Structure 1
């Protein structure tokens, strides 16, 4: 019997597992329901309307499962769909993610910040507004890296393959003066080791998992919806290959490699 009132965590693929990891650390008693829309990954090169419709379908599924919250653990989906999601489900706690522009603006000494993200995130009006609001005096360098998403989806996060994938984009932004780098896609923290090696230990890398987890805890606490007891659990679901998601969850987070496929109506 499915557990009632889970916390839904949604991404186009496995990248959102980086956010799920942070949520599990800060809310260990909760039942976490992870939805990977892997049949439609990657999102970054798709239209905003396409991504919006996928996000709405996943939200409808989570509501059918009596979810008490939805974390859109995908920068592209947040930019394209967060307003539509909140309009459709006004009683559901819905939290999105956005690149860590504000803390990067505080950390930079050169006045130049580099942002790695997907094309969809970087092209969105929401991202442009974020930059204007949080870092109007900072020079922001944008580097779309859709190939990094596929790198993580293949599980190639260590060794020579990962190093080769990240080397040129990192060198490019450092050469233009960036001294703080933002990982503006939830897939990218899984390449953190390779990116840090390419950038050097003195260059800070900023991601959003922990701040999102804290914001989720605050909103649930304010509504009296935190789990009071229990050991918590993680349930993995996908619109794609369940066995593949299970293998990636085991590789990336050390979770038991068991996942299920969503019913066809939600795929």
Structure 2
């Protein structure tokens, strides 16, 4: 099927976390048209029930695809991906890329055979995470901890607000203080918000830890699925779409501009 050069890549998240996926994708596909959609009316996802997310995400993506006609959609949210990815793929007639916790690379890298999975409460309890841990980290101790506060920290950082260092410290303590935490050498950032505060996490760590996430791998997957397609000769202005456009969203304008997004509108 021929794809128009103007057909965008659609990135979807509950908030700004998906920007950690958008950044490496833009590095590989610098002239790609971008629509970044944030479900600000439903934020945050990590404290919602599976049923709420399973109903909300496919419906919203259906509306977004109908409106913007993207060539590909990225669910740039671990919580939404681990719960709703299969339903979204069944509902849409375009390729859909999900973001799942980077447990496989963590298991390959860990020297101590103990690594942590730091995500939202909803992500870390998913059977999908159980399956990944069993398949790729069967010989490892896999610690898990959910932090809603760390999601809020990432949002606050992009709004330019003062940051409380205790939030990152507490999130890491949730892993380090578990049995085996003293041997943990790698932390999987299993929420797309968390790479945005990786520097704060590293500063809060009592000893050097390696942080891994799937952004670069997802970018390579996007490039693979769109290879041979036509792109504009220069990047058009990126567009951000919010399910609720209010004053708090306006404070993100500077940060969004840093990611090549200069237009904002409501869904």
Shift of 1:42: 0.6
Report deviation, 1:232: 3.9
Cα 1:208–1:249 change in 2 (3 A) is farther
Match of 1:57 in 2: 59
**Residue aligning to 2:34:** 32
1:118 to 120, 124, 130: 120
- Name the count of aligned residue pairs: 257
Secondary structure of 2:252's aligned partner: helix
Give me the whole-angstrom Cα distance separating, in 2, the residues matched to 1:159 and 1:193. 16
State the Cα distance separating 1:157 from its structure 2 match: 8.6
Paired residue secondary structure (1:110): coil
Map of 2:212 onto structure 1: 206
Taking the aligned partners of 1:234 and 1:252, their CA distance within structure 2 comes to 9
- CA shift, 1:142, in A, is 0.3
* 1:85 has 2:104 as partner: no
How do 1:235-250 and structure 2 match up within 5 A?
Answer: 235-241=239-245, 244-250=248-254
1:27–1:188 distance in 2 versus 1, CA, 3 Å: same
For residue 231 of structure 1, what is the aligned residue in structure 2? 235
Structure 2 residue ranges without an equivalent (≥5): none
> What do residues 101-134 of structure 1 show as CA deviations (whole Å, max 9, x unaligned)?
1111122111100111011111112121111111
Which residue is equivalent to 1:265?
Answer: none
Q: What corresponds to 2:264 in structure 1?
A: 259
Tell me which moved more, 158-167 or 182-191: 158-167
Change (3 A) 1:192 1:151: same
Give 1:128's match in structure 2, choosing from 118, 127, 130. Answer: 130
Which stretch of the first structure deviates more once superposed, 138-147 or 101-110?
A: 101-110
SS for the counterpart of 1:39 is coil
Compared CA separation, residues 252 and 155, structure 1 to 2 (3 A)? farther
Q: CA RMSD in A?
A: 2.3
Equivalent in 149, 152, 170 of residue 168 of structure 1: 170
- Superposition TM-score, scaled by structure 1 size: 0.88
Give the counterpart of 2:143 among 127, 141, 148: 141
Show the counterpart of 2:70. Answer: 67
Secondary structure in structure 2 of the residue aligned to 1:154: helix
Unpaired segments of 5 or more residues in structure 1? 263-267
How big is the shift at 1:153?
2.2
| Counterpart contact for 1:151–1:157, Cα < 8 Å | no
TM, length-normalised to structure 2: 0.88
Alpha-carbon distance in structure 2 between the residues aligned to 1:142 and 1:257:
37
Please give the alpha-carbon distance, in whole angstroms, between the structure 2 residues aligned to 1:217 and 1:167.
36
The partner residue of 2:194 within 188, 200, 211 is 188
